[in-house]
Chain A
Amino acid sequence: MAELAVGRERKPGSGFSQGLRRFAENRAALAGLIVLLLIALMGFIGPLVYPVNPFAIVATPMAPPGDGAPLGADYLGRDVLAGILAGARVSLFIGISATFCTAIIGTVTGSIAGYYGGKADTILMRITEFFQVLPPLLLSMVLVTLFSPSVLTVILSIGLVNWIGTARIVRAEFLRIKGEGYVLAERAMGAKNGRIIFRVILPSALPSLIVVTTLQIGIAILFAAALSFLGLTDPNVMTWGLMIGQSRPFIWQTWWAVTFPGIAIFMTVLSVSLIGDGLNEALNPRLRPR
């Protein structure tokens, strides 16, 4: 009986729904998912429930938490809670859009390098070395400074400097999968390269791609926070990093104006990392760390 149960549990086929079940059993990952959903909810519904303009001066400057504003006011008298609510939406939007760029660039370059090998692979290796030498955050600062800060330049600059990780994972997956029997069978049946890449190998590489993409969202959010902390952001869009950066000269007077936005960044990135780790364990059981 016991053998039967084990056999049923390891039933191949619907690997994805199995992965989902494993994910749901992972308490840390589930907690991450719930926190992230709450942050998203906060970003989208928060401003309706708490309709305060994050740029408006609504309280006494430097008012402590509770005194006119639930989480206090910054040095100008702007509501910290309103800023955090407004920042949630922007953070998630920038994080996800930038990661979308990295996923596309990384998947295309990684699959070409992994599938064709040879020159394409060498070029990817050289670019990898190039990015190991060039601090990605610094390059993204340079790009945003040169092309003037806006939400779009922030997204593109983060996307352009962070795709190497994705490309390398996809490349490794392609190298692993392209020698498998079912790929060879497709090729023997005369399938074109495009079909093999997109219809045969890429679906098998999807679990790893999903994991690395999730973790990239966290990195992108941290990058965006660092850029806006340095003032490299659209000054008319409230972000968590901008709040911290602007209140930095006043940390002795208004600790709340820097602490709470930082906690928001931390919680968001932490929940994304927990989800990423959970997905990794659920979708790639073989790669589970010892």
Chain B
Amino acid sequence: MAVVKLVLARLAQGVLLVFAVVVLNFLLIHLAPGDPAQVLAGEFGGTTPQILAQIRATYGLNHPLWVQLLTYIGHVARGNLGQSFYFNQPVLSLILQRLPATLLLVITAQVSAILAGTMLGVIAARRPHGWLSQGITVTALIGYSTPVFWLGIMLLIAFAYLWPIFPIGSMETIGFEGGIFHEALNILHHLVLPAFTLAFVYLAQYSRLSQANMLETLGSDYIRMARAKGLPEWLILYKHALRNALIPVVTIAGLQFSQVLAGAILVETVFDWPGMGQLTYESILRRDYPLLLGILLISAVVVVVVNILTDLSYRLIDPRIGAGSVTGVGYGT
């Protein structure tokens, strides 16, 4: 029951945050230079006076501002995020078509960064001044300072051109035919480079974090207890200590998810990955404001959902956060 309570509390908070983003979008439409109707139509040429009049009527732009706000909220609540004039499609369905590809990329990148990063951190923790530990510190610094889009381009040049073991972009080979297994393999092959690009920045960061936490954990009483019981070293490391080292990593990964999503925009652009990020690039290019604002809103929704899932995942990892603690670890300062 406590879990249900937690989810409900997080959900309520999430709904409020998303509502705030809706209001922000409304403010942006009105603060942007020019006529709000023109903003809603996007700067893609060929907006006729009829279209503008239609938009004015739909959004009640002749009414006082607060009525307009309510009208706007009403539209968004019913799933109407406006019309993309460039793609000639409703914004919401356009984004939802692209969302799975983005989620595949972002989740693959994050899960591999978390798992590989924690593993490396755990191994490095056995020798805090060893070469692996120092290598991780240097890699973290490099990852932090590298523009992610440039890293993607460098990897493309290296592994799709000079040594062409990976495809140059997109998500599937055009005209690819085969069974579902081969198709999955084909997508996986296309996924390697973009996912690695997006994971690289976080990989070393997570290993540093788990290494620091691991060092602390290895000195704690329950590990000493496990050692005293004569448990094999690998069991102590990978079952008892690793579980504990994973928690701060998952916390940070959850908090950083919105950054990762923003990184995906750049990575998708570089690798022609047909997700929300590429759609963002196109909407910027075409000045398709309804689409751009819709992406902002849906991104916020995705982050809220991921944050709730992160909160729930603590329960799987950390037995100490049992029933009853509604506060969790994820939010707060």
Contact = CB atoms under 8 A, between A and B. Distances in A.
Contacts of A129: 13, 17, 331
Contacts of A262: 147, 150, 153-154
A80 to B, nearest CB: 14
A230 B269 contact: yes
A231 B284 contact: yes
B261 A135 contact: yes
Interface in B209-257: 212, 215, 255
A194 to B, nearest CB: 26
Interface in A249-290: 251-252, 255, 258-259, 262, 265-266, 269-270, 273-274, 277, 289-290
Given A135-B303, A142-B28, A265 B292 contact: no
B284 A130 contact: no
B141 interface: yes
A270 B142 contact: yes
A251 B259 contact: no
A141 B212 contact: no
Nearest to B284: A145
A241 interface: yes
B302 to A, nearest CB: 9
B262 A132 contact: no
A277 B145 CA distance: 13
Contacts of B14: 133
A139 interface: yes
Contacts of B281: 230
A258 to B, nearest CB: 5
B123 interface: no
A226 interface: yes
A: interface residue count bin: 35 or more
B292 A241 contact: no
Interface residues of B, number: 55
Interface in B147-171: 147-150, 153-154, 156-157, 161
Contacts of A252: 157, 161
Contact of A222 (B24, B147, B295): B147
B32 interface: yes
A244 to B, nearest CB: 6
Given A134-B296, A226-B266, A265-B147, A251 B17 contact: no
Nearest to A273: B145
B149 A136 contact: no
B259 A135 contact: yes
A248 B33 contact: no
Contact of B150 (A133, A218, A265, A273): A265
Given A138-B296, A262-B150, A230 B157 contact: no
A251 to B, nearest CB: 6
Contact of B156 (A132, A146, A251): A251
B17 A133 contact: yes
Contact of B146 (A132, A259, A266): A266
A137 B303 CA distance: 14
A218 B31 CA distance: 29
Given A133-B17, A134-B300, A270 B153 contact: no
Given A136-B262, A138-B295, A262-B153, A226 B147 contact: yes
Nearest to B289: A146
B258 interface: yes
A248 B270 contact: yes
A63 interface: no
A73 interface: no
B87 interface: no
Contacts of B33: 147-148
Given A138-B299, A142-B28, A229-B269, 6 more contacts: A132-B258, A138-B296, A141-B280, A225-B147, A269-B146, A277-B141
Interface of A: 125, 129-130, 132-139, 141-143, 145-148, 168, 172, 218, 222, 225-226, 229-232, 241, 244, 248, 251-252, 255, 258-259, 262, 265-266, 269-270, 273-274, 277, 289-290
5 contacts: A134-B299, A134-B300, A142-B293, A230-B281, A269-B145
Interface of B: 13-14, 17-18, 20-21, 24, 28, 31-33, 39, 141-142, 144-150, 153-154, 156-157, 161, 212, 215, 255, 258-259, 261-263, 265-266, 269-270, 280-281, 284-285, 287, 289, 292-293, 295-296, 299-300, 303-304, 307, 331, 333
